Amino acid sequence: MTSEKGAAASRRNGCASRGPRTAAGKAKASRNALRHGLNVPVFADPKASSEAQALATRIAGHGAGPLLHALALRVAESQIDLCRVRQARHRLLNRKSQPQPDDGRTDDLVTDDPTRLALVLKECGEDFLALDRYERRALSRRNSAIRAFDAARVEDVLAKRT
């Protein structure tokens, strides 16, 4: 049985963890996934979609059946997601390392100054953590898609032999 003190603490914690209640807070929270633009599906972007189709054709080969092509498309989609994460990390690092008008620097290379690099990395810490989560998810999806594609390709080869 919970004590009154414990129950009060649970109520306080519960009130603090229910998410935004105001329209402005809900609108802000709904945009969290779009911060880096990485939750947008590849096929929602026409350019990325055509890249995925071309990559899938290169992976599966021109004479591939519909199953192999579909599995190759999963591999291509996750590879493009992985590239988008890495490009976002590169853009973030470049943006943060650009010389500011008030710091007297004329170079834009962070690596020349280890102290400046440490400050930039500290500034970008949370963003890098978010990008790492996206990257891990994309890598996991790509590895799973590659395993499924390879298994289907082996089955396809074995079926053609018999």
Domain boundaries, the chain: 31-161
95: burial class by Cβ within 10 Å (0-12, 13-18, 19+)?
Answer: exposed
pTM of the model: 0.66
pLDDT tens-digit profile of 74-107? 999 999 999 999 998 888 878 776 665 555 555 5
Let me know: does 152 contact 75? Beta carbons within 8 Å.
no
User: How far is the C-alpha of 160 from the C-alpha of 154, rounded, in Å?
Assistant: 10
Tokens of 38: 């990485």
pLDDT at 149 over 90: yes
